[in-house]
Amino acid sequence: MDQDEFVIFAVLNRDHFDEILKPLTEQFKDIESGRQGDDWIWVHLGDDKIEIDSFYSMELEVKGKRKHYMVVMQAIQKLAKDSIIQIFDPPKVDMTR
């Protein structure tokens, strides 16, 4: 499996944006976010990032390179259960890339 392949790890409830952002800001140092038409959170990991956004979905998709699977799963475990709509195991290929 290509560890640099871009995948979707999970789908989160867009209505819970603030509840999703809070634990992420406690866990990660470098985060950007915004709400303007679409909602988005970028978790920077060195020169790479995990993207949580509604750019191609009505809900928030958690996307990134396959190699970040463990980091993403640890972050998702800290979210309230009602914020999580679906976890893809294995992650599915992001066809928008």
Domain ranges of the chain: 6-90
User: Which whole-number Å values give the CA distances from 2 to 6, 59, 65, in the listed order?
Assistant: 9, 26, 9
Rounded to two decimals, the pTM is: 0.94
DSSP-based three-state secondary structure for 96: coil
Task: Write out pLDDT tens, residues 70-85.
Answer: 999 999 999 999 999 9
Question: Which of the four pLDDT bands, split at 50, 70 and 90, describes residue 1?
Answer: confident
Q: What are phi and psi of 89, to 5 degrees?
A: -135, 100
Q: Which 3-state string (H, E, C) describes 51-78?
A: EEECCCCCCEEEEEEHHHHHHHHHHHHC
Task: Write out pLDDT tens, residues 23-35.
Answer: 999 999 999 999 9
Q: Could you give the angle at the alpha carbon of 81 between the alpha carbons of 78 and 82, nearest 5°?
A: 130
Task: Write out pLDDT tens, residues 58-72.
Answer: 999 999 999 999 999
